[in-house]
A and B are shown apart, each in its own frame.
Chain A
Amino acid sequence: MTLRSDHIAGGAFVAFGLLVFALSGDLPFGTLSFPGAGMMPKLIASFLIAFALLLILRANESAPVATVAWRDLPHAARVVAITAAAIALYQTLGFPITMALLLFALTFLTERRNPLVAAGFSIGVVGLTYLLFTVLLRTPLERGILGFQ
């Protein structure tokens, strides 16, 4: 049997549905006349599992999993890693430093652009955005521990 993309997707959703049930253990289902906090999640998780099983049953209509293209995965992984680092640093370093680093990392490290152009672009864009928010929109951006507004 050829493993198809809907086998994988359906399986993942069945597992997710079961996980919801496992995490809902302490949520009371209640009664029909007074439904509890667990009723809706368990009801929806049941439907989710049912639709996922239907997907697995009809998986022959989907493409073989080997044909799913992952060529863009390394680029996506780099973007995710840099964005995650920026999010982690955002409240500590504040808007100007974090965003300048984010833009520089994406344009220079991920896109291999000229480092001087990438640096100029990053600083220029952050400066303009800073003016837009703090002067025009009068919305303070995250200060960070370095005191930048």
Chain B
Amino acid sequence: MGTLESLLLGFSVALQPDVLWYAFLGCLVGTIVGVLPGIGPLSGISILLPATFGLDTTKSVVMLAGIYYGSQYGGSTTSILMRIPGEAASVMTCIDGYAMAQKGRAGAALCIAAVGSWIAGTFGVLMLTLIAPPLATFALRFGPPEYAALLVLGLIFLAYMSSTSLPRTLLMACFGLLLGTIGIDNMTGHFRYSFDIAELGDGIGIVPVAIGLFGLGEILSTPSATVVGKVIAPRLRELLPSRREWRQSAMPIARGSLLGFLIGLTPGSAHIISSFLSYGVERRLSKQPQEFGKGAVAGVAAPESANNAASTGAFVPMLALGLPTGPITAVLIAALMIHGVPPGPTLVNEHPDVFWGFVASMYVGNLMLLALNLPLVGIFVNVLRIPYAYLYPLVIMFCIIGVYEVSHSIVDVWIMLIMGIIGYGLRKFRFDPAPLVLGLVIAPTLEMSLRQSLIMSNGNWAIFFQRPIAAALLGLCAALLALAALSLMRSRKDWRSRLAEAETGENP
């Protein structure tokens, strides 16, 4: 059976009223999960997993996947309106989305985020349908040295693109990597820095750290007395971006979609990493990089597109190979296994209705999300009407519930509070907490890859230069570091340092 016939079979499943209903329910809940700060897709899916036990496999996985990609849509709302990421992948959207909101372009930012998410999501499903198998095969050629090199490249790339100095960014990344080493060592079983607290055995979760640093940290740095209570109340037609804004968002959406999908194929929290990288790429390619941080349209369009495309890309190794690329896809695999359907190469042939029904439902789901999010943008904008003195206690409440509900661990909530205090301190000393989160996310994979590589080579570091893909990736790292050093030696002030000065107000 060809791809087209298979896809038609999928649509015949996905367009059944009951499957449509569960896709809609998943998208709606996902949007709410994304909008509410503190409740990420992982906690949303985990909380609702038991509710799907009574459903058949297709409905179950369609609904849970709807929560996942729906949360990517919804996550942009609180990022743009409140500078609080609804979930970790929306961290980068906070920067320019919130700046646009402060300029009175909140509606336009939300609209661009929704349309960008839809285009990227649909593009991602199209890629999943057409070229997923060869791409997945290429990603499978990555062994531990390649993964280690790729993750180091991700960190260097982020540091190079960052508006703060290279040492500051790498310092934050190291801090995150160190936090990521807390817990049981997977290779030897040693407890590391757990101080006899059982909950720390599993390590520090991304949710409490991200919510603490970006949610609570922001609240602590913003006394309500300093918040001007001016309410933006745009009408529906004012929510539409201008022609200029559409033009400015077109290419970032396209690049973000492509980059996001490719990163989505690799393990790790790809939807988070892709939003960081696409933001950096846009700032690098922009003719006006100084606009980033002050409400650049590309700073909203690119990361929002990238995280949606990455969410879809993550389904490729999950469905075709049975490999989870992160905790969310791991939970989705668990949902399939509970229903007696093992994901992997046999899924396509033995359960074509499940595989293609799921793929087709994602086309439909993305349309549903666009239809849900655009008309509701006006409702979301109304969040700004709530006085800040009432709004931030509400956010703190949702942060506590969201973090607690992930694993019913009060230790996680304490970690969130500690991270909030650290986030407050980092802001005072002009550190960007984003690399810290990235370091925490990639720490387990980086450590495992590094140690496996050394074991494979019997302790010879040359393994990273003997394998072509790893060598090429490390070559890129060296080139980026050389470029950073060159700009430092030449004039000491390239666009990044000028941007840093502008952001800190040292050189207005």
Is B190 a contact partner of A80 (Cβ separation < 8 A)? no
User: Looking at the complex, which one of A41, A55, A72, A106 makes contact with B393 (CB distance below 8 Å)?
Assistant: A106
Q: A26-41: which residues lie under 8 A (CB-CB) from chain B?
A: 27-28, 31-41
User: Which of the segments B3-11, B111-119, B129-137, B397-405 contacts the partner chain?
Assistant: B397-405
Query: Least Cβ distance of A67 to chain B in Å?
Result: 11
Is B450 a contact partner of A40 (Cβ separation < 8 A)? yes
- Closest A residue to B189 by beta carbon equals A37
Q: A3-59: which residues lie under 8 A (CB-CB) from chain B?
A: 5-6, 8-9, 13, 16, 20, 23-24, 27-28, 31-41, 44-45, 47-48, 51-52, 54-55, 58
Contacts A9-B429, A99-B397; is A106 near B392 (CB within 8 Å)? yes
- Closest A residue to B168 by beta carbon equals A55
B29, B216, B424, B429: residue with the most chain A Cβ atoms closer than 10 Å: B429
B29, B48, B171, B224: residue with the most chain A Cβ atoms closer than 10 Å: B171
User: Looking at the complex, which one of B393, B414, B424 makes contact with A102 (CB distance below 8 Å)?
Assistant: B393
- Closest B residue to A117 by beta carbon equals B390
Main SS at interface, chain A: helix
User: Which of the segments B289-297, B373-381, B453-461 contacts the partner chain?
Assistant: B453-461
Is A47 a contact partner of B174 (Cβ separation < 8 A)? yes
Give how many A-B residue pairs fall within 8 Å (CB-CB). Answer: 164
Q: Does B447 sit at the interface, judged by CB under 8 A?
A: yes
Q: Does A123 sit at the interface, judged by CB under 8 A?
A: no
Interface size class of A (residues with CB under 8 A): 35 or more
Residues of A within 8 A of B29 (CB): 137
Is B47 a contact partner of A139 (Cβ separation < 8 A)? yes
Is A23 a contact partner of B429 (Cβ separation < 8 A)? no
Is B220 a contact partner of A80 (Cβ separation < 8 A)? yes
User: Looking at the complex, which one of A9, A55, A76, A102 makes contact with B220 (CB distance below 8 Å)?
Assistant: A76
Query: Least Cβ distance of A28 to chain B in Å?
Result: 8
Contacts A40-B181, A90-B400, A141-B401; is A76 near B429 (CB within 8 Å)? no
Q: Does A63 sit at the interface, judged by CB under 8 A?
A: yes
Q: How far is the CA of A135 from the CA of B446 in the complex (A)?
A: 42
User: Looking at the complex, which one of A48, A63, A107 makes contact with B171 (CB distance below 8 Å)?
Assistant: A48
Q: Does B219 sit at the interface, judged by CB under 8 A?
A: yes
Is A31 a contact partner of B424 (Cβ separation < 8 A)? no
Q: How far is the CA of A32 from the CA of B464 in the complex (A)?
A: 14
A28, A45, A48, A58: residue with the most chain B Cβ atoms closer than 10 Å: A48
Q: How far is the CA of A35 from the CA of B187 in the complex (A)?
A: 9
User: Looking at the complex, which one of A27, A44, A80, A121 makes contact with B390 (CB distance below 8 Å)?
Assistant: A121
Query: Least Cβ distance of A8 to chain B in Å?
Result: 7
Residues of A within 8 A of B393 (CB): 102-103, 106-107
Is A45 a contact partner of B392 (Cβ separation < 8 A)? no
Contacts A27-B190, A62-B430; is A39 near B451 (CB within 8 Å)? yes
Q: How far is the CA of A40 from the CA of B193 in the complex (A)?
A: 13
Query: Least Cβ distance of B461 to chain A in Å?
Result: 8
Q: Does A83 sit at the interface, judged by CB under 8 A?
A: yes
B181, B220, B405, B506: residue with the most chain A Cβ atoms closer than 10 Å: B181
Is A51 a contact partner of B397 (Cβ separation < 8 A)? no
Is A68 a contact partner of B181 (Cβ separation < 8 A)? no
Q: B154-211: which residues lie under 8 A (CB-CB) from chain A?
A: 165, 167-168, 170-171, 174-175, 177-178, 181, 185, 187-188, 190, 192-193
A interface list, Cβ under 8 A from B: 5-6, 8-9, 13, 16, 20, 23-24, 27-28, 31-41, 44-45, 47-48, 51-52, 54-55, 58, 61-63, 68, 70-72, 75-76, 79-80, 83-84, 86-87, 90-91, 95, 99, 102-103, 106-107, 111, 113, 121, 125, 129, 133, 137-139, 141-142
Across chains A and B, which 10 residue pairs bring their CB atoms closest together, nearest first?
A32-B459, A33-B459, A37-B190, A106-B393, A37-B185, A75-B223, A111-B389, A48-B174, A76-B220, A51-B171
**A61-B165, A106-B393 known; 9 other A-B pairs, CB under 8 Å?**
A33-B459, A40-B177, A40-B181, A40-B447, A51-B171, A76-B221, A84-B417, A87-B400, A142-B408
B interface list, Cβ under 8 A from A: 29, 47-48, 51, 165, 167-168, 170-171, 174-175, 177-178, 181, 185, 187-188, 190, 192-193, 216, 219-226, 389-390, 392-394, 396-398, 400-401, 404-405, 408, 410, 413-414, 417, 420-421, 424, 428-431, 443, 446-447, 450-451, 454-455, 458-461, 504, 506
